[in-house]
Amino acid sequence: MARMHDPRAELSPTARRVLHGAEQVILDQGFSKLTLANISKASTENVAAVKYYFGNKAGLVKVLFDTVTYAVVSTLAAPPDDQVNGAHLGRLAAETGRLNQPTSASRIFVDVLPHALRDPVLLERLRGYYRTFFELHLEQLRAEARVDPASSSALNGLASLLSAIGDGLTLQAMVAPDTFDMREALAALDLLLQYGLPGFNGDMTSEQPDQ
């Protein structure tokens, strides 16, 4: 993916094991338990490996955050799913669902997020993540709709809104996995994208709803 470089690409096998160990600590115990001792235990590598490859815990967290955001953003940047009708803006609904299932990457992202908001370095990385996400949504919206210049502002707003919707779906799926119906929410989003937007209705898709 052109916008982001895979943080794992240049890591040694040992460094990848350390990183994976850190991910497992967060998934199993939460970010508050991300200590050098716990990382060492989960990765089966000694504490010195963390310092050697990442400098310190803060350096590891930066790479971890980049890795998680890369995994999330690369999903949206991937080619459309062949099972989804690419002629419909509703494809965005399906991809939003795929992005925001409570997978390992999204769970880690949500757990690290409060820390990132208080860390100036991670906060800047977070801004870049959302800029990239916005650009990807905007590209898809422009590709699917015939948009006149007067509608560009509305598209910008919709691109931002889609990111907020995705974050909200992730949280709901994680908070209430037994009762939250992701498919129902995505079906509503599909209808909204295809037929419920003033100024886009009729131009967004090549097909009209059945009469």
pLDDT > 70 fraction of the chain, expressed in percent and rounded: 75
pTM score of the predicted model: 0.76
Q: What does the pLDDT average to over 75-100?
A: 61
Provide the residue type at 65 as one letter. Answer: F
Residue in the structure block whose two tokens are 């999903």: 75
Q: Where in the chain is the domain with CATH 1.10.357.10?
A: 58-195
Say how far residue 85 (Cα) sits from the centre of its chain: 22
Query: How crowded is residue 196: how many other Cβ atoms within 10 Å of its Cβ?
Result: 12
Q: Where in the chain is the domain with CATH 1.10.10?
A: 13-55
Rounded-to-integer distance, Cα 44 and Cα 198, Å: 56
Model pLDDT, residue 147:
54
pLDDT digits (tens, 9 = 90+) for 51-85: 999 999 999 999 999 998 888 777 766 655 544 44
- Name the fold adopted by 58-195: Tetracycline Repressor; domain 2 (1.10.357)
Q: Which two tokens stand for residue 120?
A: 């100036």
Q: What values do phi and psi take at 52, rounded to 5?
A: -65, -45
**Torsion sign over Cα 12, 13, 18, 23:** positive
Rounded-to-integer distance, Cα 37 and Cα 34, Å: 8
Burial-class residue 130 by CB neighbours within 10 Å (0-12, 13-18, 19+).
Answer: middle
Query: Angle 52-57-59 (CA atoms, 0-180°, nearest 5)?
Result: 70
CB 155 within 8 A of CB 147: yes
Rounded-to-integer distance, Cα 16 and Cα 10, Å: 10
Q: Which CATH class is domain 13-55?
A: mainly alpha
Q: Does position 202 have pLDDT exceeding 70, yes or no?
A: no
CB 141 within 8 A of CB 152: no
Q: What does the pLDDT average to over 184-204?
A: 68
